[in-house]
């Protein structure tokens, strides 16, 4: 570690060793974000600085640091300025990160409205139907790459809940290809150089243009016919800014894509990891299964979202899997006013980083943090008592707006699968591929299944 001269009495922020003259630590970061961030913490401690190309970054770790990070106002640590460069090409101009703060807050509230509790209950039944449809041709027993399966199922379920049954039935194949190109355009390089003339970015831009055309056409038909839908598209068609203005087609598409990104890849990967961890730990899976049978017997006529409200064993299993395999490796904010924490001052123009890949493994917070132990979230232990210890979905006022929807998706999919099949772990290693923004298992990721016999 090396330091630098301080001004006004503030301590020098330790600097991570290594890094090149031009790109700083970018090569190491791009080769494996997870390993890089854990090295930064191991060698630098709770606050450490490094450089990614022209951007100076400061990683802060621990519940107190996370609280300071998430509670800082937007005009001091800016979420929009941190992500504007990489996300605007994906969601489009005038969406979320590319608008003034007031508009940003209004657009977030519109999406929250599309995820209100009565809608979540309806979406739960739709996701259950999609899950049953996805396994209808599985036969009595077999083997499936569960990560591939979940990627497809999550996309189908998202198409259904976001855009309705007709879109899911008629446009899913093209939608899947377009979404793949759009998603591929969000990678470590896009956070620094999102407009390089690379094929991956050109495909990203063409995909967004086509999605605006497809979804915009649907929105126009919906407005013209006056026939309401039972999806998130309908919620955004009905939404209004405070001045009474409705969203235009590009805004609707951008917000729907934002919701899709918030829920698709992270949910498919998180559900895959949860299935793997439950199968690796059959003793805990037996508790989940006993709870499922009990709830279905007691609440046979209720919708899936209502039925699963009391699924505490499954919920803790999901939480523990999210702790071990957080969907977001790091979250960033750009410093707009000097940010002071722990005797350090981080000046304007730097980026502050918070990382669940670090915070979820701190030994002073979590008992035996490398071990799968869902009971750490139970009432007798409550290792997550500090609300800024577990940050899989962010924290404070910046907690992910799709968190409840993500939990509904994971609970419904897993419960529906367990109600129809018994599963066994396969022969694969199930090691994390730590070279991307969302850490999925290395493929193949095969799991064996056998259809349950009717009672």
pLDDT tens track for 378-409? 998 989 889 999 999 888 877 877 788 888 88
How many CB atoms neighbour CB 446 within 10 A?
A: 16
pLDDT at 298: 65
Average pLDDT over residues 200-226: 87
Please name the residue that has the structure tokens 């913490």: 41
The average confidence (pLDDT) of the chain is 87
Compare 306 and 194 and report the one with higher pLDDT: 194
Q: How confident is the model at residue 225 (pLDDT cuts 50, 70, 90)?
A: confident
Average pLDDT over residues 30-43: 91
Under 8 Å between Cβ of 207 and 182:
yes
pLDDT at 5: 39
Compare 350 and 110 and report the one with higher pLDDT: 350
Q: How confident is the model at residue 212 (pLDDT cuts 50, 70, 90)?
A: confident
The CATH topology of domain 26-451 is Cytochrome p450 (1.10.630)
- The pTM (predicted TM-score) of the whole model is 0.89
pLDDT at 307: 63
Compare 263 and 40 and report the one with higher pLDDT: 40
Rg (the chain; Cα; Å):
22
349 forms beta bridges with none
Least confident of 44-48, 64-68, 259-263, 300-304: 300-304
Comparing CA positions, the residue from 152, 167, 156 lying closest to residue 214 is 167
Quick one: tokens of 319?
A: 């939480």
User: Rounded to whole angstroms, how far apart are CA atoms 323 and 327?
Assistant: 9
Please name the residue that has the structure tokens 């939404």: 239
Compare 437 and 346 and report the one with higher pLDDT: 346
């Amino acid at each position: 570690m090396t330091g630098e001269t301080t001004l006004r009495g503030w301590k020098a922020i330790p600097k991570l060793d290594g890094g090149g003259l031009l790109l700083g630590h970018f090569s190491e970061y791009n080769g494996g974000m997870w390993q890089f961030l854990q090295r930064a913490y191991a060698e630098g401690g709770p606050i450490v600085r490094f450089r990614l190309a022209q951007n100076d970054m400061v990683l802060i770790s621990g519940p107190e640091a996370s609280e300071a990070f998430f509670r800082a106002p937007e005009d001091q640590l800016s979420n929009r300025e941190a992500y504007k460069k990489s996300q605007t090409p994906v969601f489009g101009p005038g969406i979320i990160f590319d608008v003034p703060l007031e508009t940003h807050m209004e657009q977030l509230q519109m999406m929250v409205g599309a995820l209100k509790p009565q809608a979540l209950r309806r979406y739960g039944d739709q996701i259950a139907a999609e899950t049953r449809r996805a396994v209808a041709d599985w036969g009595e027993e077999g083997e499936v790459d569960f990560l591939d399966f979940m990627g497809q199922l999550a996309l189908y379920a998202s198409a259904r809940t976001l855009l309705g049954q007709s879109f899911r039935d008629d446009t899913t194949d093209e939608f899947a290809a377009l979404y793949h190109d759009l998603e591929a355009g969000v990678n470590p390089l896009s956070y620094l150089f999102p407009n390089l003339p690379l094929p991956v970015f050109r495909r990203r831009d063409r995909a967004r243009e086509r999605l605006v055309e497809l979804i915009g056409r649907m929105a126009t038909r919906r407005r013209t016919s006056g026939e309401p839908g039972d999806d998130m598209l309908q919620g955004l068609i009905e939404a209004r800014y405070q001045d009474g203005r409705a969203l235009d087609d590009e805004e609707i598409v951008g917000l729907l894509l934002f919701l899709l990104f918030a829920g698709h890849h992270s949910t498919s990967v998180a559900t895959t990891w949860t299935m793997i961890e439950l199968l690796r730990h059959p003793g805990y899976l037996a508790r989940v299964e006993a709870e499922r049978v009990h709830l279905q017997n007691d609440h046979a006529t209720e919708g899936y979202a209502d039925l699963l409200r009391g699924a505490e064993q499954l919920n803790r299993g999901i939480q523990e899997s999210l702790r071990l395999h957080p969907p977001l490796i790091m979250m960033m904010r750009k410093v707009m006013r000097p940010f002071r924490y722990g005797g350090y001052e981080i000046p304007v123009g730097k980026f502050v980083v918070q990382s669940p890949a670090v915070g979820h493994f701190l030994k002073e917070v979590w008992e035996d943090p490398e071990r799968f132990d869902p009971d750490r979230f139970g009432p007798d232990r409550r290792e997550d008592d500090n609300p800024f210890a577990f940050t899989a979905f962010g924290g404070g006022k910046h907690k992910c707006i799709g968190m409840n929807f993500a939990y509904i998706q994971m609970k419904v999919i897993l419960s529906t699968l367990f109600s129809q099949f018994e599963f066994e772990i396969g022969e694969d290693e199930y090691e994390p591929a730590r070279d991307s923004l969302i850490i999925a298992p290395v493929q193949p990721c095969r799991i064996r299944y056998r259809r349950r016999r009717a009672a």
